[in-house]
Amino acid sequence: MIKSQQTPTPERLEAIFHDLNARRGANAAGDVSVAQLQLADVAVWETMQKEAEEKDKRYVCVVWTAEPVTRSHLERLEAASRGDIDANGRACLQVGTRD
């Protein structure tokens, strides 16, 4: 709720919850999914602000593969993300350029 001067009723929270999850209004693209809405005091907000400022964010996903993923596969992916190897497993060298 933007610039609200009133505490939302449980019915209003329920309506907001359903609108968000039904992909209506500002969430028509379905970018946000809400598991629960509840009223909270200022201490909860302050804790959320502090954690957001620390920027220690984690993202998780579930991946299905045709074959089991081994530690070796994960190490190659990690090396590729650092630029140590290319997609074919070849070592990457950084070459200086002349001006």
Give tens-digit pLDDT for 58-83.
Answer: 676 777 778 888 888 888 777 777 77
Q: Which amino acid is at 30?
A: G
Contact 48, 28 (CB under 8 A): no
Taking the CB of residue 87, how many other CB atoms lie within 10 A of it? 8
Query: Mean pLDDT across the stretch 92-97?
Result: 58
Query: 3-class SS at 11?
Result: helix
- As a whole number of angstroms, the distance between CA 55 and CA 68 comes to 33
Task: For residues 49-54, give the mean pLDDT.
Answer: 80
Query: Does residue 98 have a pLDDT over 70?
Result: no
CA 41 to chain CA centroid, nearest Å: 25
pLDDT confidence of residue 56? 61
